[in-house]
Structure 1
Amino acid sequence: MKDIIYFESVYRKIHIHTLQGMDYFYGKLSTVENNLNNSVIPFIRIHQSYLINYHYISQYKSSKIIMENGAELMVSTAYRTVVKEKMHELLRLG
């Protein structure tokens, strides 16, 4: 679980981007998100299609996040406020 950089939903396929590469399974990103709610590793939903591991964020801007693997992921307008609050919360917990 700690090697997962982010999940990406493409139609009904969930791509799992990890340190070792990429794999996928069929499902819904909302189901993955619900299953990870009580996880020790903080995952943040930044877009309808992206669920990211907080520990692999390289740069954070209000409209996009750059992951340590170089992926540039857009933060949708609908999620910007929630992402900002979650980022501040996680930075405080440090």
Structure 2
Amino acid sequence: MAAYATRYYQALFTLQGTTLDTSEVWRMQNTIQELKANYSVGTIYKLLAKLMANQLQPSLDTLIWPNQTGFLKSRNIINNIFLAFKAMDWAEESK
């Protein structure tokens, strides 16, 4: 996607101060159409992901273990890091 945007802006900068050639206008229009198509694919992907997540939500309690900390609203994966540090401190103190 970045390549399309780069080509578009390069074409735009080379056209400054010159007369527009019709083939150049068509090429720029095609580039814009390609960009629009790529953006719509991302939107469709996000929409489908949201629909699937909403469909799975009622059965998440059976799929996720109670001690799992990642991918849940009220829990954070960083909690595991803090737990590991506490375990290391406990191990050092109990020597």
Common fold by TM > 0.5:
no
TM-score by length of 2: 0.22
TM-score by length of 1: 0.23
By percentage of residues, which structure has more strand?
1
